[in-house]
A and B are shown apart, each in its own frame.
Chain A
């Protein structure tokens, strides 16, 4: 392993300065970072630890106010905040579904959004894949049972961020700061497709730091949820995961957002399905009749065709639950 050192800046400005040094990498929870170092994906000379920078770990959910989450908030802090769970249930349910109790104590929201893909070819030192500058995506014709159904060319990875899904469903934005100033982007547009950029999965610029995430104030008669389907009952990556947000008005589904995970190289917003669902009566049968719309654009690889059926079933079950929650709202 390469030699590297730890610096612990006390302000965002000091962190940006430290990050500008050659070979510097940000450290939040330090979970995926260790994996990446062990897999020789990165060889930093300096880790810039954000733990001592104050104000980056907030979880502030209040009725009538926009939601504010810090990038250093741990997944267990997010999962255990009662007010967040009441107002933004999809976000708490997603945080609770990730990894193990031990990892959720360390893993952060920012780290979950910025972690690298778990594709076994990408993570293996033995395979110099397209994303690592090679000339081939080995998943296209190789072992692709966990891989993407949508947008799966030229790279068939699935994006590993669970937390992106409820944040997209809740229309959240990310606040970013760098030496050239501050900017704000939607969580949905934060992620980039392999066809647009192979070497990274987000539009984070070199030296840029996430300082906060915001979502609009909870609207009346709205509800959200997160569900995942996995191979094992606990501690497993999802085969399919999704977050759903909806707002009811006059007995109809007036607005809806659907974010799908484990099916594409980005956390995927299902816009065609949203359009088909919008304006329908809050009747589970009527809503579920539109589910096959989600198939449009799917391109199954040799071993992941099963995901199409799973996806439709998961969405149908989630719509049942959304209707139940909206009627109770």
Chain B
């Protein structure tokens, strides 16, 4: 894809410092999945429309298919693998499980990442804020209602550290 030579890039992924040697224009999505073997992040459309590849870069939700490797040098990246605390699911993940927020599961990692950012900005979002916060994540199975219910439930869960 590029005639530039491979270079080394350093950034933090899910709390761990990582170094990746690849082309500067490699998609972060591919670097995560192939170089770092973090296959929880999914590829849907590959052009920024579906949100399946959503990750947090420095706490900000982006489509990793649109971000070249060179752009994350020195940044902190969080993927779906960094959401649970070991075997203990995050309250958003637990709510998706308990409220049938996932069917085929391809959109789910991106949905969870979007819900994390949404709840960081609006701890008790209105239904309109949930719709807008998840607007960049397409789901072809659920019809979204179960997903919205899961996000509402996640805000109401108060037990546990998160």
Contacts and interface: CB of A to CB of B under 8 A. Distances in A.
B7 to A, nearest CB: 10
B70 interface: yes
Contact of A30 (B1, B68, B136): B68
B66 A31 contact: yes
Interface string B61-79: 1110111101100000000
Contact of A47 (B25, B49, B61): B25
Contacts of B71: 51
B117 A101 contact: yes
Contacts of B4: 5-6
Contact of B54 (A51, A102, A235): A102
B24 interface: yes
Interface string A1-18: 101111010000000000
Contacts of A8: 70
B136 A99 contact: yes
Contact of B3 (A1, A3, A51, A233): A3
Contacts of B48: 31, 34-35, 102-103, 106
Given A4-B3, A5-B25, A103-B48, A30 B66 contact: yes
Interface of A: 1, 3-6, 8, 29-31, 34-35, 38, 47, 49, 51, 76, 99-103, 105-106, 233-235
Contacts of A29: 66
A105 B62 contact: yes
30 contacts: A3-B1, A3-B3, A4-B25, A5-B2, A5-B24, A8-B70, A30-B67, A30-B68, A31-B66, A34-B47, A34-B66, A35-B48, A38-B46, A100-B51, A101-B117, A101-B132, A101-B135, A102-B51, A102-B54, A102-B62, A102-B136, A105-B60, A105-B61, A105-B62, A106-B63, A106-B66, A106-B67, A234-B131, A235-B135, A235-B136
B133 interface: yes
Contact of B68 (A1, A6, A31, A234): A6
B78 to A, nearest CB: 14
A103 B25 contact: no
B135 A6 contact: no
A101 B68 contact: no
Contacts of B114: 101-102
Interface residues of B, number: 30
Interface string B13-53: 00000000000110000000000000000000011110100
Contact of B133 (A30, A49, A101, A106): A101
Contact of B25 (A6, A31, A106): A6
B139 to A, nearest CB: 12
A102 B63 contact: yes
Given A4-B25, A6-B4, A101 B47 contact: no
Interface of B: 1-4, 24-25, 46-49, 51, 54, 60-63, 65-68, 70-71, 114, 117, 131-133, 135-137
Residue among A8, A31, A103 having the largest count of chain B Cβ atoms under 10 Å: A103
Given A1-B1, A234-B135, A38 B24 contact: no
Contacts of B49: 100
Contacts of B60: 76, 105
Contacts of A4: 1-3, 25
Nearest to A80: B121
Contacts of A234: 131-132, 135
Nearest to A100: B136
Contacts of B2: 3-6
Residue among B2, B66, B70, B133 having the largest count of chain A Cβ atoms under 10 Å: B66
Contacts of B67: 30, 106
Residue among A1, A38, A101, A105 having the largest count of chain B Cβ atoms under 10 Å: A101
A250 to B, nearest CB: 38
Residue among A6, A30, A233 having the largest count of chain B Cβ atoms under 10 Å: A6
A5 B51 contact: no
Nearest to B132: A234
A233 B68 CA distance: 31
Contact of A102 (B46, B61, B70): B61
B1 A38 contact: no
B136 A106 contact: no
